[in-house]
Structure 1
Amino acid sequence: MYLIFLMTDRANAREPMKSLISWACTVDKINRGLNFMNKKKFTYITALTLLSFTLMTGCTNERKENQTAYRQIGINAMENGDYAGAVDAFNSALGQCIGKITENELDICYYKAAAQYAGGDPAGAVDTYTAIIDYDKKAADAYYLRGCVYLKQGDTESAVSDFDKAVKNNSSDYELYVNIYENLSAYDMTEKGEEYLNKAFDIKGNSAGDYAWRGRIYYYLGQYDNAQTELKSALDKESVIANLYIAQVYEAQGDPENAEVYYQNYVNSGSADSQAMNALGEIEIAKGNYSGALTYLEQGISMENVTNRRELMQNLIICYEYTSDFNSAWNVVQEYVQVYPDDASAQREYIFLKNRMEQTAPAENTEEAVTEDTQAVEDTQTPEEAQTLEDTPAQ
């Protein structure tokens, strides 16, 4: 469930928006690791007023070039984590519209709503999705995404209502049912989410994709035998993704040997993602093969689209320490505590590694090694945590 902002074709235009809100609802973090271009700022125009105007008027051909440029600037700003600047750019893109509305304008609206949500303006995102729905009462994506925002805000009744409308208007999309389940499950509504999974079985089909999706759904429902049956049928039809799903099934059944075989098949297919690399790394960690685990973890963290950066970084720190590569462990933990400052155990690991680096540094550099970052971490400790660290034997 990873987001990628940069798009080049209309066919995939709404998927980044769906991924963004779905992932943000469950993880509540935005990946900022993509490369970005220089950002530009634009005068703010009231979002809902501009959107309503745009939906009524549209865009003429002579303004298409400017609209495209503003849209790309907005995407670049999102990649940079500049969500306010992104909203401004998308508003400017919509401001180019003075004719009939097209899919391009709707695409920009989805982007803008995603930027509003990611920038801490869920109310603005709801307004934007609502305006899209006012324009198109059958906009399943907008219902789904607005439902995700409602769920994040604690308005479960409105969330479920929107999810129901989403599946009503797009009843043949397995991914929609699964995404709804994943979001509800993340907010302790697993039983409700399973209702959507069971509805997905009403979709009929015997393609590789049908078998793979049904296998994944059985996996979520804990029906592992049924999951294997469906996924093996998908594999017989040369489904690549089925290797990943059946590996997860075997792992859930406590069969790491078969899980590793299918994870490796997925990697060898050239379609592997950061989740698969982390899973393979954890299998090697369980074996005590930390060097082997690093091979997978380092590949995973270096991928263009990383959906599980936190887990990968945690495992990298573990493996670097077990292989006595404390310099690499130190480099990773410094980045980790900046991105995830609320992780108390990581803060303690930061101090441990910092102290070790100081002890092994040349004497002339020892005094310079005490940085403001270390002091800031120490200031966050409770007296009990500080005492625990003092009592911990040196390693």
Structure 2
Amino acid sequence: MAVFRKNSAAMMVMLGTLLIGSGCGTMSGHRNVDLGLAHIESHEYEEAAQSFDAAEAAGENGRLLYRAKGILNRSLGEYDEAVSNFLKSLAATSGIPGDMDFDTNYYLADTYMKLEKYDEAEKVYDAILALRKRDKDAYYMRGLTKLYNNDHEGATADFNRAMALSPRNYDLRIMIYKALSAGGFEDEGKEILEACLNNTDPNMTNYEKGQISYYLGNNADAQSYLELARNERDTEKAPVVLLLGQTGEKQGDYNYAISVYKTFLAEDSNHPDIYNQLGMCQINMGDYEGAVASFEAGLALGNSDYSRALLMNEITAYEHAGNFAQAKTLMENYRKAYPDDADAEREEIFLSTR
């Protein structure tokens, strides 16, 4: 498939429209905008919309208001409306674009990707990179966009640029491996990871070696490195424990994984991601009551980054237990909080027949 290209005139239009913008907006404050964003964080979407209406009536900063409206639209799965509002926010930028404008562009590009408008998403990343030529995240995301758009050669070039800009970023290399594997190029992804282990980086940590070994399928090596990392004084323990348990899961040894997670949580319970993984192991062991308890303990921590996964997995545990009434009730709550989840919509229809 031909790679999408833009001529220099088109680039100038893109920079003018998306990043530099024109027009003016009032700078009379943004109290209602901030309140609306807080409502979004709490999944109170009607209240958020009311706050934005109040912000508009009060003449609050249009650049911030349109951006916030776009975020609300994305949360509701209203992607066309989100695009429109992000573009309005960018058009209200005057002067040199700041960090918030670049952040809005990332939102815009991601929304285009949700709409499967990959050419449009690529244009946005082109515009970002025209002004931030060393933005490794933009190169990675543009590479992902090209991969989705069947431009394997272009994707590889962007992934290579991202890695060159961040030579010791092993998390980035793992993300690229995952993307290539999902796109049917697992061997290429493995070559990237193997190169990490073969480069004899003296600063490579045991955790990083364990990560790479895990994704290469070398579970014995992964466990060995991760056990070493777990006993190191200055290493952050939670990500080590999470991956160490998953080495057991990968081999079907759920008892080992459960032991790793429970031992850690007994010492430090403030980790919803580990409660989530523990619950998934308990589902696989048929301990649905224990799984529900784990998911609820994770949800009680109030971390919005993990609430979505925890709540959906709790629904799954109730389904496996045959408690469809409770699963249905929780699904109704989930759908109110995450209306953009099309898979959950289908699952809600399934539960309605039970």
* Corresponding residue of 1:234: 229
Q: Mapping of 1:118-129 within 5 angstroms? A: 118-129=114-125
Letter in 1 for 2:294: Y
Aligned equivalent of 1:253:
251
State the distance in 1 between where 2:344 and 2:261 align: 32
- State the alpha-carbon separation in 2 of the partners of residues 75 and 135 from structure 1: 24
Shift in CA distance, 82/256, structure 1 to aligned 2, threshold 3 Å: same
8 Å contact kept, 1:74–1:87: yes
Give, in whole Å, the separation in 2 of the partners of 1:127 and 1:91: 13
Check if 1:211 corresponds to 2:206: yes
Task: Pick the aligned partner of 1:223 from 203, 218, 237.
Answer: 218
Q: CA deviation at 1:243?
A: 0.6
Aligned-partner Cα distance in 1 for 2:75–2:15: 23
Q: State the TM-score, normalized to the length of structure 1.
A: 0.64
Q: What corresponds to 2:281 in structure 1?
A: 283
**Partners of 2:12 and 2:119 in 1: CA distance:** 11
Partner of 2:133: 137
CA RMSD of aligned residues (A): 3.6
**Measured at CA, do residues 53 and 332 of structure 1 come closer, stay the same or move farther in structure 2, by a change above 3 Å?**
closer
The answer to whether the 8 Å contact 1:70/1:93 transfers is: yes
Query: Does the Cα contact within 8 Å between 1:297 and 1:315 map onto a contact in 2?
Result: no
Is there any run of 5+ residues in structure 2 with no aligned partner, and where? 1-9, 30-60, 336-340
Residue number in structure 2 paired with 1:38: none
TM-score, normalised by the number of residues in structure 2: 0.70
Residues 317 and 332, structure 1, Cα contact 8 Å, conserved in 2: no
Shift of 1:166: 1.3
Highest RCO, 1 vs 2 (Cα 8 Å, sep ≥ 6) = 2
Between the two proteins, the alignment pairs up a number of residues equal to: 298
> Hey, what's the Cα distance between the residues in 1 that align with 2:350 and 2:173?
40
Q: Quickly say closer, same or farther: Cα 1:225–1:288, change in 2 above 3 A.
A: closer
Give CA deviations for 1:85-136 in whole Å, capped at 9, x if unaligned: 3222322222233323333332222222112222342221111011222233
- In the TM superposition, 1:1-395 aligns within 5 A as 49=13, 51-53=15-17, 55=19, 66=61, 67-201=63-197, 202=199, 204=201, 206=203, 210-235=205-230, 236-237=232-233, 238-240=235-237, 241-268=239-266, 269-274=268-273, 276-299=274-297, 304-306=304-306, 308=309, 313-319=315-321, 321=322, 325-331=323-329, 339-340=342-343, 351=353, 353=354
2:331 and 2:76 map into 1 onto residues whose CA distance is 22
Aligned twin of 1:35: none
Answer whether contact 1:55 1:135 (CA < 8 A) is retained: no
One-letter amino acid of the structure 2 residue matched with residue 239 of structure 1? E
2:102 partner letter: L
- Which amino acid in structure 2 is aligned with residue 304 of structure 1? S
Identity over aligned residues, as a percent? 26
Contact 2:14 2:123 in 1 (8 A): no
